[in-house]
Amino acid sequence: MQSIYSSDYREFLKRLKARRLALGKTQVDIAKALGKPQSFVSKIEHGERRLDPLELRALARLYRVSVDWLLEGRGKPK
């Protein structure tokens, strides 16, 4: 089955998950920090749910990276 998402979006999802793992955080850790259920993070990482801009900003702050890094992979994470 072909993905409905562009290759750029799939790369964004990979960066999102990889950064969480690099920080040693679980989906539960991130969900608690956001005040959301674990399924919120899971659905985002699996492409089942899109992020709104404010959610993207919140994740960037938690992951200590810029929104630009999450979206484009530019620059280096802190």
pLDDT along the chain (78 residues), means of 10: 74 95 98 97 94 96 94 77
Compute how many other C-beta atoms are within 10 angstroms of the C-beta atom of residue 74: 9
Compute how many other C-beta atoms are within 10 angstroms of the C-beta atom of residue 57: 14
Compute how many other C-beta atoms are within 10 angstroms of the C-beta atom of residue 4: 7
pTM of the model as a whole: 0.85
User: What's the confidence (pLDDT) of residue 35?
Assistant: 97
Domains of the chain: 7-70 (1.10.260.40)
User: What's the confidence (pLDDT) of residue 29?
Assistant: 98
User: What's the confidence (pLDDT) of residue 77?
Assistant: 72
User: What's the confidence (pLDDT) of residue 3?
Assistant: 56
